[in-house]
Amino acid sequence: MNSLANKRILLGVTGGIAAYKSAELTRLLRRAGAEVRVVMTAAAADFITPLTLQALSGQPVYSRWDEAGAAMGHIELARWADRVLVAPATADTLARLAQGRADDLLSALCLATTAPLYLAPAMNQAMWRHAATRDNVETLRSRGVRLLGPAEGEQACGDTGPGRMLEPEALLAALSASFESGALAGLKVLVTAGPTREAIDPVRFMGNRSSGKMGYAVAAAAAEAGARVQLVSGPVALPCPPRVERVMVESAAEMLDAVLERVADTDIFVAAAAVADYRPQAAAADKIKKTVQPLTLRLEPAPDILATVSRLPQRPFCVGFAAETADLERHARKKRLAKSLDLVAANRVGRGLGFEADDNELHLFWEGGDARLARAPKPRLARLLIEHIAARYRAGLAHPPQGDDHADHTA
């Protein structure tokens, strides 16, 4: 269970006796590979020191507006999060969130974020049972807020009943499960990612700026969605995502071989690699010596991996990317038809988006439809893309294309 790796968790801590458990929760989240940023209310600081949570999260702890402004603005922090978890969430916190208040940093963040919001209530049993709290919980639930707990049992005040905060291990498990959609359960997904390197001579190559981040995020999201994932990766410095089987390659030819070896056993193929379009016709056997003369390299087209796969008689569901600097929609639609793709994910490159960037935005096109995925960190965007892929894949199974309309197009 490590679907929390590289996930961004915004942990809100409010003023209840269970706040001491937030320290353990922070530690567990970090150990599971999550990035954690803690926001405390003023009352929380009466129960646990910001220094403790700062040390455990490895990040500054936010509690006042000015602090959020100094390190990361409150809207930026709200956007940063993949999940917001308020633990403990006091009766007062539930009331404030139900009202949509924004007069302290944590409630403003909860209002500003589009990430799923989880609350772990912790309060005296009579407060939990009170009609006012019942109403607030109902209101929050109706807006899609998820409540984790409370548990029943002995309370700090001596009462027994519902109102204990769930244990940190249970909160960790719930957050982890929230990233596991199961949308691709039982399916086999093959992903290409990163650049390729085309040898010029034994020490030099032609390459490109692809970081592999988007492809790796797609592989990670597919694994979270329950797929068995194989990743064929060009040279990048990224760690292999959890539960993904990776093979590293260098050139377009090696990538093609690695893909063809695996594709027969694949339900969905996602080509996110920035494969070289051209490669030197022949790599020099020895290092090319420097002279004062101009040097001409003769290039030939490199194999188009995606087009090759999409032309196979028993092809998987094929997804391609289209990185464009202009006229995105027209080029993407053309590419979808030219390469016979089931789905194309188009993105603009340049202006801080695309290669090497942490954020991206995508416009998806498929037969008879399209969808825009707004600018977001690549891991979040990849999860949305996987949801669309799963939906299109299942729709295709329900209504397979008539005739052989995939084979008519050539790249």
Minimum CB distance to ligand C5P smaller for 123 or for 272: 272
Pattern 318-337, ligand C5P, x by CB under 6 A: --xxx------------x--
Q: Report the nearest approach of ligand C5P to the CB of residue 209 (Å).
A: 13
Q: How far apart are CA 4 and CA 177, in angstroms?
A: 9
Minimum CB distance to ligand C5P smaller for 277 or for 405: 277
Q: Report the nearest approach of ligand C5P to the CB of residue 53 (Å).
A: 42
Contacts of 178 (CB under 8 A, 6+ apart): 83, 116, 118, 146
Look at the block and give the residue holding tokens 């390469």. 339
Report how many residues bind ligand C5P under the rule CB under 6 A: 16
On the 0-12 / 13-18 / 19+ scale of CB atoms within 10 A, 374 is exposed
Q: Report the nearest approach of ligand C5P to the CB of residue 362 (Å).
A: 12
| Interface pick for ligand C5P out of 81, 222, 273, 381 (rule CB under 6 A) | 273
Q: Report the nearest approach of ligand C5P to the CB of residue 71 (Å).
A: 37
Residue 269 engages ligand C5P in binding (rule: CB under 6 A): no
Residue 280 engages ligand C5P in binding (rule: CB under 6 A): no
Minimum CB distance to ligand C5P smaller for 204 or for 331: 331
Residue 232 engages ligand C5P in binding (rule: CB under 6 A): no
DSSP symbol at 268: E
Q: Report the nearest approach of ligand C5P to the CB of residue 308 (Å).
A: 8
Residue 302 engages ligand C5P in binding (rule: CB under 6 A): yes
Residue 275 engages ligand C5P in binding (rule: CB under 6 A): yes
Q: How far apart are CA 349 and CA 230, in angstroms?
A: 26
Per the CB < 8 A criterion, the answer to whether 340 and 409 are in contact is yes
Long-range pairs of 200-205 with CB within 8 A, sequence gap ≥ 24: 200/280, 200/283, 200/284, 200/288, 200/297, 201/283, 201/284, 201/285, 201/286, 201/287, 201/288, 202/283, 202/284, 202/285, 202/286, 202/287, 203/287, 204/287, 204/288, 205/250
Q: Report the nearest approach of ligand C5P to the CB of residue 322 (Å).
A: 5
Minimum CB distance to ligand C5P smaller for 105 or for 302: 302
Q: How far apart are CA 163 and CA 267, in angstroms?
A: 46
Within 186-205, the residues that bind ligand C5P by CB under 6 A are 192
Q: Which stretch binds ligand C5P (CB under 6 A): 98-106, 160-168, 266-274, 375-383?
A: 266-274
Q: How far apart are CA 83 and CA 116, in angstroms?
A: 5
SS (H, E, C) 228-243: EEEEEECCCCCCCCCC
Residue 206 engages ligand C5P in binding (rule: CB under 6 A): no
Minimum CB distance to ligand C5P smaller for 194 or for 241: 194
Minimum CB distance to ligand C5P smaller for 183 or for 305: 305
Q: Which of 165, 144, 131 is nearest to 12 (CA)?
A: 165
Residue 184 engages ligand C5P in binding (rule: CB under 6 A): no
157 is catalytic: yes
CB-based burial, 310-346: b 16+ in 10 Å, e otherwise: bbeeebbbbbbbbbbeeebeebbeebbebbbbbbbbb
Residue 381 engages ligand C5P in binding (rule: CB under 6 A): no
Positions of E strands within 261-342: 268-271, 278-280, 299-301, 317-324
Q: How far apart are CA 3 and CA 225, in angstroms?
A: 10
Residue 304 engages ligand C5P in binding (rule: CB under 6 A): yes
Q: How far apart are CA 207 and CA 236, in angstroms?
A: 11
Minimum CB distance to ligand C5P smaller for 97 or for 271: 271
Q: Report the nearest approach of ligand C5P to the CB of residue 7 (Å).
A: 26
Q: Which stretch binds ligand C5P (CB under 6 A): 34-42, 47-55, 100-108, 296-304?
A: 296-304
Residue 252 engages ligand C5P in binding (rule: CB under 6 A): yes
Residue 218 engages ligand C5P in binding (rule: CB under 6 A): no
Q: How far apart are CA 97 and CA 408, in angstroms?
A: 56
Minimum CB distance to ligand C5P smaller for 121 or for 320: 320
Single out the catalytic residue among 110, 157, 240, 318.
157
Q: Report the nearest approach of ligand C5P to the CB of residue 397 (Å).
A: 22
DSSP symbol at 302: P
Note the residues at the interface with ligand C5P (CB under 6 A): 192, 252, 271-273, 275, 277, 302-306, 320-322, 335
Tell me which residues are annotated as active site.
157
